[in-house]
Amino acid sequence: MTAAIYIRKSRKDGDKPGQRLTVQREQLPAYARSQGWQIEIYDDGHASAARGKTEDLQERARLEADIRSGKINIILTIELSRLSRDDSLQDYVAWLHLCGEHHVRLATMSRILDPAQHSDWMLLLMEGGFSSVEMKVVQSRMKEGRDQARSTGKFLGGKTPPPYIYDKNTSKPVIDQKSLVTMKQVWALAETMSARQVAIKLGLPHISVRRAIADDRLLYYQALRLDPSGGDHIICEWEPCMDSAQAERIRSHRRSGKKGYTRNTAASLLSNLGLYVCGYCGRSIRSWSPTTRQAYAYYGCKANETARLCDKSRMHQQTIVDERITTNLLGTLADLDQIQEFWTTSQSAENAPQSAAALDEKETLLATKKQRLVAAVADGVIDFADAKAKRLEIEKEIEEIQKKRVEISAGQMQEPDWDALTYLGANWDRLDITEQRSAVSVCIKKIRLYANYAIIDYTFRRDSSGNTTARIHLPPPAKSGPKSTKCNKPLSLNKSDISEKLKTDNVEQKTQKKP
């Protein structure tokens, strides 16, 4: 007789590290040998068998495969809850059906039960029910313990941010003096400089500096924690390394300081609306305001803000791009009656509400079948393997229904306010810039900017085929500079400057010819 010895423990105890696992690894093989069984050990060590975590139990999966292949006659555990700790009993009952189907008995060091016997089946179900209730009680107590620790300022675990390190002796964070020197430099500079400037000056990653001056970190440095229920500050058990005055100075400068570059809220009609994206890399388009060396404001890919990361994109004058997009928008609104007809025809052809209702009805039916399948497994009507295959088929069908629902939702468009669009087209020149910007946001969903053209994605269909996009051409870059220059303003020279320039060039050439 081949006995499978399954060993598992949910988590390590703080005062008795590994003792329960040691008992299982020593006593279970000794008991099996005393019974004259041939043993095969399946050891998952410290692992949880709760619902949603059984995928990590590799040894249990190997045990299941050996049971199906007929290699195992009996399973020996320290207690039957080692096989499953599912609080819903679904996984536990499935294991009972698996063992009963393959004539595998379940044993502890005090008794042996056969799932194929009705009396033993009832005892196994009762023991599984007690284990499920115990699991719910343990989870509830653990949650209460975490809430109590949070409210009293205890350390809740996890990685400690610098300058703190975790001290195993005291079980709480302590200050690392070496790391504290660097962090004090960061905090001192953050009172007067931006996070990016601090990162460049100290040679640190920008994201690390941003995290170091975030609100939750500033509270952590003061040994404080925000109470989620009342919003008050809770004093924590570790030693603070920052006072409230410095934290307030950092917070105040961070909120009022510059964000890496300066730009107006509305540099032009279409800027800062979140409409523009780069057609090549998909990043957002930002606005470069004019300076003393620039005559115009420009649009450009945000990837080129600090380095040339998007090679295909180039700068575009805001006035030219905004003017051409506005012209296309007004031309589109001029044919609003025809556009409304296109929209009405497309909506009646799609019949989206009926399709969505049919999908909902089908999904409800599949969910009911899945629930009945679980009940059938519990009653022993269907075996575990067939039930598992059928469940996968049902879940696959539900997934396909959800995909179709997403496709229908994506293709279905909300009916535009035709009266408002008609008013916009007729009274565009009478609107101020704020009203015009709001109107653009209603009509246009996205604008993809390329080197020589732009693609406008409207919120409504523009033709009978359902197309929502329009393409506009943009002027090529000026020849006076590279395509990525922010200002392509040509130099203006009068005749006297040109003649003087030619004389200077001739003198330089004659000088170079002399030996």
Q: What is the pLDDT of residues 72-126, one digit of tens each?
A: 999 999 888 888 877 677 888 888 899 999 999 999 888 899 988 888 888 888 8
Question: Which helix (H) or strand (E) segment is 359 a member of?
Answer: helix 352-379
Same domain, 248 and 310: no
* 212 backbone dihedrals φ, ψ, rounded to 5°: -65, -20
Say if 447 falls within a structural domain: yes
Whether residues 30 and 88 fall in one domain: yes
Task: Give the model confidence (pLDDT) of 449-498 as tens digits.
Answer: 999 999 999 888 888 777 889 999 998 876 544 444 443 334 444 545 54
| Residue 188 parent element (H or E) | helix 177-190
Q: What is the CATH number of the domain that holds 65?
A: 3.40.50.1390
Report the C-alpha gap between 337 and 21 in whole angstroms. 77
Quote the pLDDT of residue 484: 47
Are 365 and 276 in the same domain?
A: yes
Same domain, yes or no: 489 and 370? yes
Residue 171 belongs to domain spanning: 164-256
Confidence category of residue 434, pLDDT binned at 50, 70, 90: confident
Task: For residue 314, give the 3-state DSSP assignment.
Answer: coil
Residue 480 lies in a domain: yes
- How distant, in Å, are the alpha carbons of 100, 290, 450 from that of 302? 64, 17, 13
Residue 48 has a CB neighbour count (10 Å cut-off) of: 16
pLDDT reading at 293 higher than 70 = no
Check pLDDT > 90 for residue 436: no
On whether both 45 and 146 belong to a single domain, the answer is: yes
- Among 109, 125, 150, where does a domain finish? 150
Same domain, residue pair 354 and 503: yes
Tell me if 263 is assigned to some domain: no
Q: What are the C-alpha distances in Å from 184 to residues 179, 197, 390?
A: 9, 16, 61
Do 247 and 289 belong to one domain?
no
Q: What is the mean pLDDT of residues 288-300?
A: 74
Contacts of residues 409-418 at CB distance under 8 Å and 24 or more positions apart, as own/partner, are 409/356, 411/350, 411/352, 412/350, 412/352, 413/343, 413/459, 413/460, 413/461, 415/343, 415/347, 416/343, 416/442, 416/459, 416/460, 417/442, 418/336, 418/340
- Is residue 463 a part of any domain in this protein? yes
Residue-level pLDDT at 411: 54
In a shared domain, residues 130 and 201: no
296 with 243, same domain?
Answer: no
Query: How much is the pLDDT for 487?
Result: 39
- Claim to verify: residue 330 and residue 410 sit in the same structural domain: yes
Cα(326)–Cα(68) distance, rounded to whole angstroms?
70
Question: Of 133-147, 422-436, 484-498, which gets the smallest average pLDDT?
Answer: 484-498
Q: How many domains does the chain have?
A: 3
- The residues near 381 (Cβ < 8 Å, ≥ 6 apart) are none
For residue 267, name the pLDDT band (cuts at 50, 70, 90).
low
Residues 224 and 288 in one domain: no
- Among 204, 166, 200, CA closest to 183: 204
Assess if residue 318 is contained within a domain. yes
Task: Count other C-beta atoms under 10 Å from residue 190's C-beta.
Answer: 24
